Amino acid sequence: MSKEVDTKELILNAAEEAFAMKGFGGARTAEIAKKAGVNKALLHYYYKNKEGLYHAVMDRLLFDLVQIAQDVLKEGLKGVKLVDGLFDAFFTYAAKHRHFARLTTVESAGGQSRYLENMLRNFFRPLFERACDHINNEARKRRLKKVDAPNFLITIYLAILAYFTDIKFISAIAGYDAGSGQSLQMHKNFLKRMIHNILI
């Protein structure tokens, strides 16, 4: 990996955290540059302005999300194995990219939400529709129970996203570290059992 790529990664990582914690309006490029260990001029050399930096952060996150969904759909899985594959991939993604949940929640309420909506519509919606078609086809073949596929997938998506958005709150009310590896596995297993109860 080149020094330029390393520097860009440092900037994007710092920006991702800043946008997640403070939103687009509250994040400051000077603070992001300091966190990344670079000067502000270099940040603006790579990313023209704060909006361009925000777009680069979201592009990176959404590209990874689309890629994992595509990888699962290419495997040719059938029945509940397909749903398990999509669920496992997204849960792992959300656990790895903890800022994704907060970024989408914060920006849905304002900020650069139009950009996020366009990205989701253009890149993620076709995959979402494809996943719905798979579930409906599997139900017609009686490998799954018939369900409202769009609402089913949205509910699972929100169950995962809300957990990572409110992980500190969940830890406080549950009395244990909801972000620990053991807790994440427990929550993942619970959601998977719920999915199986609905579909099988």
pLDDT for residue 127: 84
- Token look-up 């949940």 returns 101
Find out whether 80 and 200 touch, Cβ atoms under 8 Å.
yes
Phi-psi region of 27 (alpha: psi -120 to 50; beta: other; left: phi over 0): beta
pLDDT band at 112 (very low <50, low <70, confident <90, very high): low
Find out whether 53 and 15 touch, Cβ atoms under 8 Å.
yes
pLDDT in tens, 19-64: 988 888 889 999 999 999 999 999 999 998 999 999 899 888 888 8
pLDDT band at 93 (very low <50, low <70, confident <90, very high): very high
Find out whether 19 and 27 touch, Cβ atoms under 8 Å.
yes
pLDDT for residue 187: 95
The SS3 assignment for 116 reads helix
d(CA 29, CA 41): 10
Q: Which residue has the higher pLDDT, 180 or 125?
A: 180
pLDDT for residue 111: 56
Residue 110 has pLDDT above 70, yes or no: no
pLDDT band at 146 (very low <50, low <70, confident <90, very high): very high
Residue 109 has pLDDT above 80, yes or no: no
| Structural domain spans, the chain | 55-199
Spatial CB neighbours of 147, under 8 Å, sequence gap ≥ 6 = 135, 139, 198, 199
Beta-carbon-side half-sphere exposure of residue 192 (alpha carbons within 13 Å): 18
> C-alpha angle 7/13/17, rounded to 5°?
150
Percent of the chain exceeding pLDDT 90 equals: 60
pLDDT for residue 2: 60
d(CA 43, CA 51): 12
Report, at the CATH architecture level, how domain 55-199 is classified: Orthogonal Bundle (1.10)
> C-alpha angle 53/57/58, rounded to 5°?
120
- Please state, in angstroms and as integers, the Cα–Cα distance from residue 147 to each residue in 127, 151, 200, following that order: 18, 9, 11
pLDDT in tens, 18-27: 998 888 888 9
pLDDT for residue 35: 95
pLDDT for residue 141: 93
pLDDT in tens, 162-193: 899 889 999 999 999 999 999 999 999 999 99
